[in-house]
Structures are given as C-alpha cells and as structure tokens.
C-alpha cells in the first residue's frame, strides 16, 4: 500500500475511535488495519495511538499527523472529483463561514438556490462575524466584511457597501421631515449593537458628524431592526444590503440620503495554500453572480 492509503487508514482509525470500527468502515480485516497502523508507526518511528489493554488515546504526534494529513487527503479526493467527467455535478463537503447579516439578509436566496442545484454538495454554513482561522478550523471559504473597504491579502473583492439611515414613510409623516443631523435629536433611533450611548459617524454637507445618542432600541439582529423600522418604531442605521429589499418595496425610505457613512469591503477568502476544487469554484461563481448588484 502507498503512503496516501496508509494515511487514509490512520485518519479512519482516529475518526472511528477503534481498529475494529475502522476495519468495518474500510471493509478489510481487523488484523490488516492493526498491521498497517504498526507499519506506519515504524516508518515514522513514533507512537501514534496508545492502544494497550484498556487504553485508547491518540498521542500528541498522532494528533499532529491527523491535523496535517486530513486536508492533504481531502486534496487527493478533490483531484479524483475534478478529473471525473465534466457533466458530473461537483460533490463532497463544502464548509463556509459568512458574515452573519450579509449571509442571512442578502445571500440567503442564493444559498437556497445553490443547495437545490448542487444536491451532491454537502454544504455547511456558519453565520458568524468573528474572524476564523480557515486552516485550523477546517473551513473551505469565508465571506467577510471589513471596515474601511480594506481588502485582505490574497482573495476576491466582491464589492463595497455602506450604511444608511432608514425609516418608514408612516413614521416620517408622524414626526416630520429630517433635513439635517440636528433633526435626529428627539427622534426614536434604533441601533445595531448593544451600546447604551453609541455614536454614528458620517459626513453631511461636507462636514464630519459625530452623532452621540441614547437608542430607543438596541439589537444585534438586522432582520429584527428592519421589522421594527417598517412598523414605525423609529429610524434605523443599517447596511444597504440589509435594507435594500424594504427600500425596494417602499416599506422604508432613506433618511438624510445625502449623508455618507464609511465604506465596508466585502471579500471572499480561502486559505492561501488551498487549491480551489470544483465545488468551491461553483460556490464562488454563485456568490459573484448574487453580488453583481453590489456597488463597486
């Protein structure tokens, strides 16, 4: 057997938690698994799994080998998949982390369509605003939004988005028109976040405005704030990709439309040393198509 096959056997043993279960999963004799595992340990002159009577524990060396072998074996599987007939739908696991509001508000229809049109891809989506370590946490792709429009090294720029202020027509009819930043005083302001005294920073009339206020309502969910604003609770600041449907449908209208907030860059990222396989490329093309309407 070759090195790739022996590493695949080792990874299977660790995943299954026993030689007997690994043998069943691989469809070979238990004695063959034990022999090949021992040969692998002899090759590296390392104990990979402590398996004395009543004891089963992957050693530090075994854990490091598992961590490094797993992505390499995935690459080998990807090579097989990539060179099958082109008509075959790309298949296999695909794990993606997406900035929470961007994924839930803007990409959600595309994600549903992708799952329907690529049934052979086992898609796992994590909606999370933290910066993940793609290699160590075993993600294939990440979609991130960075302040200032800065572009992370090595990856694909999808577009740029800005925040804006929005309110329902009924709310503005009730409280009166908003002509300048001073007109926001005394109005019900809805804030994305948990700060008791946030500050909205924007430019208006060629001047920088640092507008500190006490929110009528805080939330960390854009969909909730959109619902609150459309129901006339107050004026909300949100990214345009969150508010665009409500604005398109007339449920919300821009407030101080000439105000400009700092830009945020939208980027699709993969680990620098990771080769793009067919399912990753299919997902990237779907995201690029969905993001075509985002301002450059």
Does some domain include residue 245? yes
Residue 115 to residue 80: CA distance in whole angstroms: 22
**pLDDT on residue 123:** 93
Structural element, H or E, at residue 10:
helix 3-16
CATH code for the domain of 213: 3.40.190.10
Spatial contact of 99 and 220, defined as CB atoms under 8 Å apart: no
**pLDDT(10) > 70:** yes
**pLDDT(27) > 90:** no
Same structural domain for residues 223 and 242?
A: yes
**pLDDT on residue 278:** 85
Tens digits of residue pLDDT in 175-217: 999 999 999 999 999 998 878 899 999 999 999 999 999 999 9
Which of 82, 111, 130 corresponds to the end of one domain?
A: 82
Q: What domain range is 66 assigned to?
A: 3-82
Same structural domain for residues 173 and 240?
A: yes
**pLDDT(154) > 80:** no
Candidates 188, 155, 182, 158; CA nearest to 170 is 188
The least confident of 33-42, 67-76, 204-213, 233-242 is: 67-76
Spatial contact of 131 and 100, defined as CB atoms under 8 Å apart: no
Does some domain include residue 211? yes
**pLDDT(263) > 70:** yes
* Selection from 80-89, 139-148, 250-259 with the highest mean pLDDT: 250-259
Average pLDDT of the residues in 108-125: 94
Residue 19 to residue 29: CA distance in whole angstroms: 10
**pLDDT(295) > 80:** no
Average pLDDT of the residues in 242-253: 93
Structural element, H or E, at residue 166:
strand 156-167
Give the pTM: 0.66
Same structural domain for residues 251 and 281?
A: no
Structural element, H or E, at residue 116:
helix 108-117
Q: Which residue has the higher pLDDT, 14 or 86?
A: 14
Same structural domain for residues 35 and 102?
A: no
Does some domain include residue 87? no
Can you tell me whether residue 219 is helix, strand or coil? strand
Does some domain include residue 177? yes
Residue 101 DSSP one-character state: H
Residue 45 DSSP one-character state: T
Does some domain include residue 71? yes
Same structural domain for residues 144 and 172?
A: no
Q: Provide the mean pLDDT of the chain.
A: 86
Counted domains in the chain: 3
Q: Helix/strand/coil (H, E, C) string of 263-275?
A: EEEEEEECCCCCC
Does some domain include residue 206? yes
Tens digits of residue pLDDT in 65-116: 888 887 777 666 666 665 665 545 677 889 999 999 999 989 999 999 999 9
Same structural domain for residues 63 and 205?
A: no
Average pLDDT of the residues in 153-172: 87
Same structural domain for residues 144 and 180?
A: no
* Selection from 15-19, 135-139, 141-145, 227-231 with the highest mean pLDDT: 227-231
């Amino acid at each position: 057997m070759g090195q790739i096959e022996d590493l695949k056997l080792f990874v299977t043993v660790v995943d299954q938690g026993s030689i007997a279960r690994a043998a069943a999963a691989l469809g070979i004799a238990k004695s063959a698994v034990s022999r090949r595992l021992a040969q692998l340990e002899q090759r590296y002159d390392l104990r990979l799994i402590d398996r004395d009577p009543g004891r089963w524990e992957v050693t530090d060396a075994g854990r490091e080998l598992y961590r490094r072998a797993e992505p390499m074996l995935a690459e080998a599987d990807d090579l097989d998949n990539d060179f099958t007939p082109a008509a075959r739908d790309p298949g296999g696991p695909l794990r993606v982390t997406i900035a929470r509001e961007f994924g839930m508000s803007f990409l959600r229809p595309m994600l549903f369509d992708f799952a329907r049109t690529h049934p052979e891809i086992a898609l796992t989506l994590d909606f999370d605003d933290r910066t993940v370590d793609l290699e160590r946490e075993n993600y294939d792709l990440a979609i991130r939004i960075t302040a200032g429009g800065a572009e992370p090294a090595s990856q694909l720029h999808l577009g740029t988005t800005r925040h804006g202020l929005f309110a329902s027509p009924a709310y503005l009819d009730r409280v009166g028109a908003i002509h300048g930043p001073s007109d926001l005083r005394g109005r019900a302001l809805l804030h994305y976040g948990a700060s008791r005294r946030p500050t909205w920073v924007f430019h208006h009339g060629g001047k920088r405005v640092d507008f500190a206020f006490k929110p009528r309502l805080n939330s960390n969910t854009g969909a909730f704030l959109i619902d609150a604003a459309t129901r006339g609770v107050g004026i909300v600041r949100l990214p345009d990709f969150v508010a665009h449907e409500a604005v398109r449908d007339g449920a919300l209208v821009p407030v101080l439309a000439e105000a400009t907030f700092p830009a945020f860059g939208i980027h699709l990222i993969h680990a620098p040393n990771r080769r793009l396989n067919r399912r990753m490329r299919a997902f990237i093309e779907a995201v690029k198509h969905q993001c075509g309407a985002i301002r450059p």
